[in-house]
Chains A and B, each alone.
Chain A
Amino acid sequence: MNSLLQIKPGKLKLKNRPFIFQLDQPLKIASDSGKILLLIKGDNGSGKTTFLEQVIIPHLKQNNILFLFKGQDNHIQSIIDRSLEAIFSISHSGKNLISQVFFNAPAKHPAKKITTPTAEVLLMDETDKLLSSSEFDDIIKNPDYKLLILISHNLDNPEFQQHFNLFPRKYSLTIAGQSAVRTASFTKC
């Protein structure tokens, strides 16, 4: 099994933030034949997006794991997508809500259209709120990626719970606190 995430427990220092994370145990996820879901939950302002941006994404970059990221602000994401499309001639998949911008992708000739390889990890920061149930279902059934990392406030929505249950393996990461040390608790569901 290949390791997708392997982050050591303990204090995780951050840039330009007045707080740190205290990860309670190793955040370790390995890939197998089935799809995996990592749900990141917590109160508004607890640092969910910061954890994604400053812990998970640097880890994926460092380990050359191909990932796809859909940010929280749809307006800003559209501008980023449009700019990158103009600069790199990256094509869109036809799904407006999922950016076709692949990070860590080989891009030797940026002026040409890039044949996008399969991303191993899909990161969605509250993007589920923009999707209908069937659109979210399409994403779940997409065979390309192995791990979906989702920040969501939809956890008590029965319709979305049904989707979450389709993943054979599920984990959750709960970020809590408003103080200088935020706890990040990792559990297998």
Chain B
Amino acid sequence: MDQLLQHLVNGTVLGGTYALLGIGLTLIFGVMRVVNFTHGELYAFGAYMTYAFVSLLGVNFYLALALATLAGVALGAALELVLLRRMRRADIDSVMLVMIGASLVLQNAEMWAWGGVAKLIPNPFAGSPLVLGPVSVLPLRLFVLGVSAALLLGFWLMLDRTRAGVAMRATFQDPETAALMGVRVGWVNTATFAIGSGLAAAAGALLGPVFMVSPTMGDLVGLKAFAIVILGGLGSLPGATLGGFALGFVEEFAGGYLSTEYRDAFGFLLIILVLALKPQGLVPAKERIG
């Protein structure tokens, strides 16, 4: 029973971070129809920026998180302007390949800049866990979970309540009509990609201090993000959130009770199952984007 409770807590903490990873990817796919293979690299970028600000420049931890997220937004905007904008008429395969090329460049540029040695980011939270009966959790993890939830909610409100959000949803539904109605589709795309990238960088900035920062940290995360998005149904934000938690719990419980070797495989098996039985994902298509 004690073990069960601990697994529940671990799964929630893990799921929260997965959800954060999933929504950025979902947003970009939903609005732009781009499968963003640089997502994992933007995650790593956010983590490295946090490391640079905190460890090298001595910036306050919370400020560093915000700056790293903004750096991710800027890098995302640059990627959109330099690469994706020129590819608007290209087919989905070509766009994917360009993004794979970009991820190779980003990852190895990071290795070049920082070296392959993993870094630890110091953080202001206590290193000892909070203990509640049989369950223990690091304060830093709770902070990450809280910020993830706040980001998810804030992002939701942005889509629902702001002009930018309306423009994004309109573009998703019908780019041509949106353009006729005065939505500047080009800038909506830039903003979408920048925000999605910012969310990935934020996830990296938040999880960098929990784990470690290394140039290849984005590889597994990129794959997991795909898994989450597929689970939730491509382009569905509630789905991505649900998919994130589903993956977190499946990995934690399967890893804890069935087999730790296959821990990472369960997520992928789950996807194949979902696709075989319910190809639209856990949340059906009509609810997509917002």
Partners in one complex: no
Binding site for B on A (CB under 8 A): none
